[in-house]
Amino acid sequence: MHIGDTGDSRPPSAQSRRPRLVVGVSGSSAPQLAFAFLETVRALGTVETHLVMSAGARLSIELEMRRDPLELEKLADVVHDARNMGAAISSGSFKTLGMVVVPCSMRTLAAVATGNSDNLVARAADVTLKERRPLVLVARETPLSYIHLENMRTVTLAGGTILPPVLSFYHQPKSLDDVLRQVCGKILDRLGIENETFDRWTG
């Protein structure tokens, strides 16, 4: 279901009663993370996903994956236009479990750290922080500058979580999918969403 400037196309009675999760996708490299995350959440079937993609995210998907952004939209329950600052997810009265930005560019990180909500991805993240809900930014950049680190520090002090997609090897990954699944599981854990989608360390 796509939501544009006119709002939800379904009547309230048809709405899912599952808890809602906002999924933002910014113009960072590695849009594969967004696909893997939405596929993982869709398989769980326990939450209703509200997707919002920046213009940069759409370009990254086309350039890095040679895929149509519409393919990512099909994995979400609800899709919001990043230009629609009046969307439901722009208000704190719209209850959600929280939000993840995956991947999160340094531009989006800076927008969240400074409260400069110039698109719906940044605005929804700002709302998540002010409502004291879990916000996870899957920051994708290396090396990091002092500015990047300061922005990460600011978001962390405001209650957000910076979760870089750091590689794990204790589970002996055999493929890129194994690596992506591990990152997705850690994101879900930070959001408090029950899952057994990845290998946990047992000692």
Annotated binding site for FMN: 27-29, 54, 105-108, 140
CB 125 within 8 A of CB 151: no
* Annotation: binding site for dimethylallyl phosphate: 170, 186
* Annotation: binding site: 27-29, 54, 105-108, 140, 170, 186
- Residue 77, number of CB atoms within 10 A of its CB: 19
- Residue 115, number of CB atoms within 10 A of its CB: 14
Structure-block tokens of residue 67: 């895929």
Q: Where are the beta strands (DSSP E) in 12-164?
A: 20-25, 48-53, 78-81, 99-104, 135-139, 161-162
Helix axes 176-190, 32-44, angle to 10 degrees: 60
Structure-block tokens of residue 93: 């009265």
